[in-house]
Structures are given as C-alpha cells and as structure tokens.
C-alpha cells in the first residue's frame, strides 16, 4: 500500500528560511547564501519523508514566497511595471512582484482559500506575453533525484491558476481569464516534457478550485485543459489533487472523467461527503489518493477510524490503487513535536505536527498491507481516549453561559448614526480623522526584552519599565505626527492571537509551532483544547497606562473572537461556533472592563472573519450568522459614547459587505490599497454604509513609502463614493513588520494628505 504527502512546511523547524529571506532583503547576505539555506532545507525534508517510507514525495512545493507566484514566474506573466526584459526570472523581479520596490507597488496579496496562508494574485490580460521563464519545478526534481529521492513534482494546475487570477489594471473587469488557457498550456507542455526527460514518473497538478461552486463553462475548462495536455502527459502518471472541501457531484464526474489523468486526490477530512461520491462511482483502474490525515490541524489522527475508512475504500478501488495521503499540504501545520520539550505531556500526546503526520500516513499504509504497528496504534488509541475523558477539556459554567446566548441577537440598543453623534460630542475629532491599526515596529531591542522576561532573565518590574518606555516613545511619535486617535503600539505582544490565548483558559502554547502566513511572516497559532474563559483582565493595565500619557483618545486593542478562532488550531470535538461563542464572552468581559477604566475607543479586530467563510455558497449564511453574532456579543453592553472599531485585512470583502454592516461596529478599518481599491467598487455600486469607515490608504506589507500626493489621490477616490463625515484615514494594517525609517515618513505623508484635503474641503464650502 502506497503513501503520499500533498506538500510540506517550507520554513524549517527553526524558521531557517524566514531568517535567510529577511537577511537577504536587508542586504546582509547574498543570493548564494539564501539559496544554500533553501537547498539544505529541501534536502532535509526529502530525506525525512524518504526515511519514513513515503512512496510519493512531493517536490516544487518549496517556495521563496508562495506557489502561485512561482507559477506566475514559470509562465513569465510579469506585469510591465517591473521592467522585466525576459530570460530566467531572478530574485530581483520575483521579490519586486511580491513586496514592491522603491518605485513600484507589489502585486495584490489575498488569502489562499479559507486558510491564513496568502498568495500573490496574478495580473493577466489579453496582451500578456507568456513564456517559460522559471525552471524551478524541473530543477528541484533533478536536485532531489541527485540525492537519491524520486519525487512527484507539484504544479498549480492551469485552470486553478487562471481562476485565482484577476484582470490587470487597464483590462476590462469582465475580461474572461479562462480565454488565456490556450496561451498558457504550451508552457505547461514544455514543463511536462522537461520533467519527463529528467525521469519523472508522476506529476501532481493541484486544482483546489474544483471544490468551489463552479459554473458550467469553468468546469468545461478543466475538460478542455487536460484533453489538450493528454498527448503531452503520455508516458507519465498524472495526479490531480483537490483539497479543503467536498466536491459537488457534477464536479466529481468532470474530474474523474479527465483525459490523461490516472489518479485523483481528495480531502476526506473536510470533504466527508466526497466519500459517498467515491462509493457510488469511482472509475475503475484509477488511483485514489485518500486524504485521511488532516493537513490543517494538529490533532493526532484517529488511526482506528481512518483504517476503517481506508478498508472500505480498498473494497471499491482495489488494494493496488489506493494511496494513503494527507488531506492537503502540511504547510498549514507546525513542523515537528520534537521541538516542543516543554509542552504539557498529556496535551502533547493528543497532537501530531507535520513530522508526526508523515508517520501516521505511513503507519496507515503499512496497516493496510498487514504490517500494522500494534504499539503505534495502541498508543494512538490511548491518546484518543485520554482526550475524550480529560477533565481539563470541560468547564460546565462556560458551557452553560454559552448555551444561554441563544435567543438574543445582542445588538446595541441605539442605531449607529445616533451613537456616532454621541461619540463625536465626546471625542471632538476633525473630519477625515487619522489613526493607525494597532501595532508599531517591533524592534530588536523590544524582542530582546520580551524574550528575556519570558526566560526569567529580567524581573517583572524591569519588563514593565521597558514596555512603558516603548509605549511612551510610540505615543510621543504619534503626537508629533499629529495623529488624531492613538494606539499604544502593542510592544507587549509578539502576536495578536497568541497574546490573548496565553491569558485565556482552554489554550495551550508551543515554543516552535510556527506556521507560514506569507513570505517570511510566520505565526504561532495557539491550540484551543478545552472550554474558554477569561480568568482576569488582559489589556486594561497597558491601555490605561498608555491613555495616561496623552490627552488624545487612546484605542484599547483587542482581537475578536472569530479571528482568535480562525487563527488558532481549534478543538475538533465540538462545533466551531460553540468555541467561538465562548471566546466572545471572554472578550465581552474585557471590553466592559476597558470601558470602566475610561477607555473610550476600543478596537476589536476581526481580521480573519472573511477568511473563515466556507468555500461553498450554501454554507455561507450559517457561518456569517454565528460569526457576526459573536462579534456583536463582545460589545453589546457598552455605552453609546464608547466607540467600537474593528479591522479586517487582505481578503475579498465585497461579497460579505452586508454582513460587515450587520456587525454594527461604529468604525471599520479595512484593507484597500493593495487590492487596487477593489473595496470601493461596492460603494460605487450603491451599497450604503452609515458607520465610520477607513479603507487603507497605503500598503504596509511593502517597504515602499507612498507620497503625500499618492495618498491624497486615494482619499479623493474614497470621497467620491463615501460621505466625508464617515471617512477615516489609516494604513491598510498594523505596522509591526516595518521599520521606523519606513513608518515615520509614510505616516507623515498620510497625515499631510488628510490635512491637505481638510483644507480643500473647508475652502469648498
């Protein structure tokens, strides 16, 4: 029985790639040094899987930024503004597309389906001259082969690539991107030919858009693409991999009828209904790659249950055609439990990170051939039983409080326009008020202080003194810049979700459980293993300390329940919405304590609300109902004069704008600049928004500093579709990943642009 891994984390067990990338970007190391780190990481990943007995080991899942950008490079689809003149695409062009440079902005970045991973959105149009411009897939296959590992090269499929793209600036928004299929397929043929010549016996095409609600012409594009590729694919085994959800019945039929394809991969963790489709009609003679090991969560697999599922599938497809696999790439999990010596032993026994999931896949494959590792399965069964019976998982008081939420929609008593009037009387803000999203740059010194405090190398008194000094610097800078509503800069927080999880019951934490979010950005998701509650106030001390340093309004900064949920590894033994309601009640307690402490502006970030939207439209309404309700629970009890902000970033919000309005926040700040102001199109189309809104005026994920004129131009575009009295001026997102040398001039220009337009608006009256 064969085993397969869809993809593997690329940052390294100690974030080796992150540090190598940042050193290269800062000019502290060479391209050769970066490539050496990458080469060593790839070699260790391939060796690990080979040593574990995995038969189908992926290559070309490693990336310096993301796999969609790698495909853009492969196809030579470089937007003209990067002045690429042809030839093999190097780091300069590649990273300019990802991050922008001094003269041009980056390409749009958005979420990869419903995960916290991001990808760079291709910009396409009828005039794009595609060419084979990156031989990465072939080079990595050869690299692995030279090490004695025969891999399965992985390519983003041609139809998924086009469906994830957008029309370039200046191209009609209605331009049919799938019309470019005939232009990109010749390049895919070249890549396939080179892989075959290099000795590849299998090629994996990732086509995750197959799990979406596709129209008939989109489904036909898959049939067309693989029919066109059929002759080129002759002589090589082809796997089409899908993940993240069930396949609709019509899509399943289209997929399993594709020409030139001999294997199909399915997510059987999030796509349990696909099992019924397989049982009712899987094509004979084809390989089934059964994704029974969860690639998106960190809970140990229930090996006994998975083995039962696999045995039933074996009876359908045949012993020699069933391959045990992960549900998706392991990119979305932490790397290795071996790096967690301090993690609670009982909780640790319930978990499996990427390295452990590789072992689970192999153990299941061996069990199917009669080589069951009884000790491995027995330990797994004990861990499953321990988790189900552990008293630390359940808190009856929390469950009772969450159950009592049913029957109320938890809206504030007064409508938003009346609240905004009351808040303006208290806050006395100018038109086009300026603010930032929360965090300020996290300096090396600041990180050192936090690290030493955690390691008990400095006292609590020294830590508090250092953090207060940092807050004072941030407050002083904002006052010098003349920003209207201030933030304390979050110097006490390494990560917005981890910070709150550490102070809530029901959460566990790792030392090295890092997961890539985009580029070099890694997050360390908390693990929600039990019922959630707030033992004591979490932010009141720092918020009141910051407010005491200024007469201007100081925002209390919280992470919302939906974002804490979506950016954590969530328990899988109860519905997600139940866990979310528990978190909402904990945040509600914090909001009310902040208000009592005199904080008049409270921001409850819901950066990940859109990210959690199910991939299938039929499931949208249920999710949005409980997600929006959870947000309203957090602030339903505050006074009219307390201004509630929320923040969202890097997703497509247009299709959920009515749910955003239904959140009933007083002010929303929202990503806008990097997505080419796509958000504003909603308001051009007539959606009325009566609360305060701050579409981001510049992209903080690029080191580029926008000019005053550029920002003023963005604000003018906003004023064309939004009322002057509701518009706020702010960056796209928090500033923690930037340097002060970038932040200070960018904010100076932002405030100058706001003042310039205030003057123009006043003189126009």
Q: Is 439 known as a binding-site position? A: yes
CA distances to 184, 410, 534, 644, 698 from 637, in Å: 55, 8, 17, 11, 34
* 433-455 b/e (C-beta count within 10 Å ≥ 16 → b): bbbbbbbbbbeeebeebbeebee
Separation of alpha carbons 47 and 148, rounded Å: 9
* C-alpha–C-alpha distance, residues 658 and 317, integer Å: 45
Q: How is residue 490 annotated by DSSP?
A: -
Find, among 706, 699, 25, 740, the residue nearest to 441 by Cα: 740
> Do the Cβ atoms of 287 and 262 come closer than 8 Å?
yes
521 marked as binding residue: yes
Query: What is the 8-class DSSP label of residue 38?
Result: H
Instruction: Give the SS3 label for residue 289.
Output: strand
The SS3 assignment for 737 reads: coil
Angle separating helix axes 354-368 and 303-317, nearest 10 degrees: 50
Left if phi > 0, otherwise alpha if psi is -120 to 50, otherwise beta: which for 32?
alpha
Say which DSSP state 435 is in: B
Q: Is 620 a catalytic residue?
A: no
Tell me the C-alpha distance between 109 and 271, whole Å. Answer: 27
Counts of helices then strands in the chain (DSSP H, E):
27, 22
605 labeled part of a ligand binding site: yes
How far, in Å, CA of 364 to CA of 329, rounded?
Answer: 18
Residue 671 annotated as lining a ligand binding site = yes
Beta-sheet pairing, 667-670 with 643-648: parallel
DSSP of 542-611:
HHHHHHTT-SS-BEEEEE-HHHHHHTSEE-SSS-HHHHHHHHHHHHHHHHHHHHHTT--EEEEE-TTTTT
Q: Is 70 annotated as a binding residue?
A: no
Residue 532: strand, helix, or coil? strand
DSSP H or E segment with residue 119: strand 118-120
Please enumerate in sequence order all residues whose Cβ is within 8 A of that of 360, keeping only pairs 6 or more positions apart, or say none: 293, 300, 301, 303, 352
Q: Which of 4, 332, 488, 701 is catalytic?
A: 701
Q: How far is the C-alpha of 290 from the C-alpha of 324, rounded, in Å? A: 5
| 278 labelled ligand-binding | no
Q: Is 18 one of the annotated binding-site residues?
A: yes
The SS3 call for residue 528 is strand
647 labeled part of a ligand binding site: yes
Q: Is there a binding annotation on residue 490?
A: yes
Does the annotation list 339 as a binding residue? no
Residues 6+ apart with CB under 8 A from 584: 405, 561, 630, 631, 633, 634
The reply to whether 733 sits in an annotated binding site is yes
Per the annotation, binding residues for L-methionine are: 437-439, 490, 605
Per the annotation, binding residues are: 18, 116, 437-439, 490, 521-522, 567, 605, 647, 649, 658, 671, 733
Per the annotation, binding residues for Zn(2+) are: 647, 649, 658, 671, 733
Per the annotation, binding residues for 5-methyltetrahydropteroyltri-L-glutamate are: 18, 116, 521-522, 567
Q: Which residues are catalytic?
A: 701
């Amino acid at each position: 029985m064969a085993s397969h891994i869809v993809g593997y984390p690329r940052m390294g067990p100690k974030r080796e790639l992150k540090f190598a990338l940042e050193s290269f970007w800062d000019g502290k190391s060479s391209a050769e040094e970066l490539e050496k780190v990458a080469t060593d990481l790839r070699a260790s990943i391939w060796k690990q899987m080979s040593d574990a007995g995995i038969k189908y080991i992926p290559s070309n899942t490693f990336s310096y930024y993301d796999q969609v950008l790698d495909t853009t490079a492969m196809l030579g689809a470089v937007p003209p503004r990067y002045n690429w003149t042809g030839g093999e695409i190097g780091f300069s062009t590649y990273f300019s597309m990802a991050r922008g440079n001094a003269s041009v902005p980056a390409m749009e970045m958005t979420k990869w389906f419903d995960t916290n991973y991001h990808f760079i959105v291709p910009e396409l149009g009828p005039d794009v001259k595609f060419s084979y411009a990156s031989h990465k897939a072939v080079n990595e296959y050869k690299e692995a082969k030279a090490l004695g590992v025969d891999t399965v090269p992985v390519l983003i499929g041609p139809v998924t690539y086009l469906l994830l793209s957008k029309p370039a600036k200046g191209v009609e928004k209605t331009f049919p991107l799938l019309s470019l299929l005939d232009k990109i397929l010749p390049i895919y043929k070249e890549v396939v030919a080179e892989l075959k010549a290099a000795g590849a016996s299998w090629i994996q095409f990732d086509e995750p858009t197959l799990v979406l609600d596709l129209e008939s012409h989109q489904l036909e594009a898959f049939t067309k693409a693989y029919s066109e590729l059929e002759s080129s694919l002759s002589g090589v085994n082809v796997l089409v991999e899908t993940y993240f959800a069930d396949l609709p019945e019509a899509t399943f039929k289209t997929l399993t009828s594709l020409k030139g394809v001999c294997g199909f991969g399915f997510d059987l963790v999030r796509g349990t209904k696909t099992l019924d489709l397989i049982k009712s009609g899987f094509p004979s003679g084809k390989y089934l790659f059964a994704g029974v090991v969860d690639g998106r969560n960190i809970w140990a697999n229930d090996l006994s249950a998975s083995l039962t599922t696999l045995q039933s599938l074996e009876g359908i497809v045949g012993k020699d055609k069933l391959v045990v696999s992960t549900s998706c790439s392991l990119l979305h999990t932490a790397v290795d439990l071996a790096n967690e010596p301090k993690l609670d032993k009982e909780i640790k026994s319930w978990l499996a990170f990427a390295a452990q999931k590789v072992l689970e896949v192999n153990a299941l494959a061996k069990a199917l051939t009669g080589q069951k590792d009884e000790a491995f399965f027995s330990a797994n069964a004990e861990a499953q039983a321990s988790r189900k019976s552990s008293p630390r998982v359940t808190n009856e008081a929390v469950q009772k409080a969450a159950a009592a939420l049913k029957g109320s929609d938890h809206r504030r008593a007064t409508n938003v326009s009346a609240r905004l009037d009351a808040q303006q009387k208290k806050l006395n803000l100018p038109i086009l008020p300026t603010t930032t999203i929360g965090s300020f740059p996290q300096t090396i010194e600041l990180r050192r202080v936090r690290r030493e405090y955690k390691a008990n190398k400095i006292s609590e008194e020294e830590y508090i003194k250092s953090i207060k000094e940092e807050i004072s610097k941030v407050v002083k800078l904002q006052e010098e810049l003349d920003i209207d509503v201030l933030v304390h800069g979050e110097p006490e927080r390494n990560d917005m979700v981890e910070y709150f999880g550490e102070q809530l019951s029901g959460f566990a934490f790792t030392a090295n459980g890092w997961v890539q979010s985009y580029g070099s950005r890694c997050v360390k998701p908390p693990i929600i293993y039990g019922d959630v509650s707030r033992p004591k106030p979490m932010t009141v001390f720092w918020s009141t300390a910051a407010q005491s340093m200024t007469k201007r309004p100081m925002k209390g900064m919280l992470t919302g329940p939906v974002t804490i949920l979506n950016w954590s590894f969530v328990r899988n033994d109860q519905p997600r919405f139940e866990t979310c309601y528990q978190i909402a009640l904990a945040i509600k307690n914090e909001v009310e304590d902040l208000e009592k402490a005199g904080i008049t502006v409270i921001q409850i970030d819901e950066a990940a609300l859109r990210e959690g939207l199910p991939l299938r439209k039929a499931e949208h309404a249920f999710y949005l109902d409980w997600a929006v309700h959870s947000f309203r629970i957090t602030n339903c009890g505050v006074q009219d004069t307390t201004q509630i902000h929320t923040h969202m970033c890097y997703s497509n919000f247009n299709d959920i704008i009515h749910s955003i309005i239904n959140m009933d926040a007083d002010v929303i700040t929202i990503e806008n600049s990097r997505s080419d102001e796509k958000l504003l199109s909603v308001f051009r189309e007539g959606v009325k928004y009566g609360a305060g809104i701050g579409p981001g005026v510049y992209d903080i994920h690029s080191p580029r500093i926008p000019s005053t004129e550029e920002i003023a131009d963005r604000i003018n575009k906003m004023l064309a579709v939004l009322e002057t009295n509701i518009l706020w001026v702010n960056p796209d997102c928090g500033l923690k990943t930037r340097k002060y040398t970038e932040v200070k001039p960018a904010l100076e220009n932002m405030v100058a642009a706001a003042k310039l337009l205030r003057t123009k608006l006043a003189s126009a009256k």
